[in-house]
Amino acid sequence: MTRLWLVILALALWACSDSEVPQAYRDLAVPEKRLGDPAVQVAGRALFLRHCALCHGEGADGRGVRRTALSQPPASFVDPAWRESATPRQVFATIRLGIHGTSMPAWPMLNHEQTWDLVAYLLHAREATP
């Protein structure tokens, strides 16, 4: 049942199309080549471990040590449902703005390049996670 709840939550948070991304991010140029660069994904993993792993887990599986204290379970970035529905713009906007009404905070202290590095890791977490 918990697995079903995680899938439903992931779909609810990420199933929107880019047209539902906040206006400021709809026309954001997606650096496709950067996202596919293994060195960028490694840099994104380092940022993930520093800023995100406490909630989302070192394996990006939503099983961080803080997860039990959160009002809603954190997303699993290795979950196929999340991976199929997430777009680079959605992930970028979520990192920058957080998700209102949840424990997911905004991360405005990350610059655009760092945010894209993190997006690269998250979108390729299945391959990048040891």
Full set of structural domains in the chain with CATH: 2-128 (1.10.760.10)
Torsions phi, psi for 85 (to 5 deg): -100, -20
| Integer angstrom CA distances of residue 8 from 46, 85, 111 | 28, 12, 31
φ/ψ of residue 16, rounded to 5: -75, 155
Instruction: For residue range 24-76, list pLDDT tens digits in order.
Output: 889 999 999 999 999 999 999 999 999 999 999 999 999 999 999 998 999 99
pTM attached to this predicted model = 0.82
- 33, 56, 85 from 66: Cα distances, Å: 33, 8, 25
**CA 107 – CA 14 distance, rounded (Å):** 18
pLDDT of residue 126: 75
At 60 the pLDDT is: 95
Q: Between 126 and 4, where is the model more confident?
A: 126
